[in-house]
Amino acid sequence: MNCITSLLALATTILLTTQQPQGVSALLPLDHLTTPTPLWNQGIQSKPGNGNVVQISPDDQWLYVTAADGSLSKLDPAAGSFHDVYTPERRTSNDGDGGVIEWAMMGLGGISFYMGDDNDDDSYLVYWVFDIPTSSVDVGLRPGSRVIAVRHDSSKEIEVLWTKVVPGIIEGTPVIGYVYLFFRGE
């Protein structure tokens, strides 16, 4: 499914969930329509791939899109307007001979949210990217992942709170509040 189709499908979901009677949970099963009714059509700067997500925040305030290049886009789910994009910097390493090794970066996972107690500043989301050294020179570099925390608030800009490098390649959607175990097979 391409980016435009994903965003159109999401806009249809927004339409259906926002027309629920007051007090009824938005998590009720959606009615299946014969013809989708798009609310808006918005392109983003990066292309989502397999494993990426188009996800509305739990408070319905923002729409976030992860992309295969590791970027995170922020859109208004009601109007479809694009507001900001964050793309992590590519990692580089010394090759031991004074040269630089470039790393390939990919993002193929989802997003997890932590929603604070009625305080806009306490809410955040996490997502991840992975890095693979592109050099065939063996200088002890191994693939690694970066977990990235981003503030979730009313601001239209994306604010990165922290980035944590972990060994190995993370897969799937990160989960907040769990201990991750990493095993390294040789």
97 pLDDT tier (thresholds 50, 70, 90): confident
pLDDT at res. 64: 94
Smallest Cα–Cα separation from 62: which of 31, 84, 95? 84
73 pLDDT tier (thresholds 50, 70, 90): very high
Instruction: Provide the β-strand partners of residue 105.
Output: 131
Mean pLDDT, the chain, rounded, equals 76
pTM of the model as a whole? 0.72
Helix, coil or strand: residue 125: strand
pLDDT in tens, 7-35: 444 444 444 444 444 444 444 454 566 78
Question: 1-5, 135-139, 143-147, 182-186: which range is least confident on average?
Answer: 1-5
The residue with greater pLDDT, 46 or 27, is 46
What CA–CA distance (Å, rounded) separates 160 from 149?
6
pLDDT at res. 24: 42
> Does 159 score more than 90 pLDDT?
yes
What CA–CA distance (Å, rounded) separates 163 from 148?
4
The residue with greater pLDDT, 121 or 148, is 148
Per-position DSSP letters for 42-57, written without gaps between them: ---SS---TT--EEE-
Give me the count of residues in the chain. 186
The residue with greater pLDDT, 29 or 116, is 116
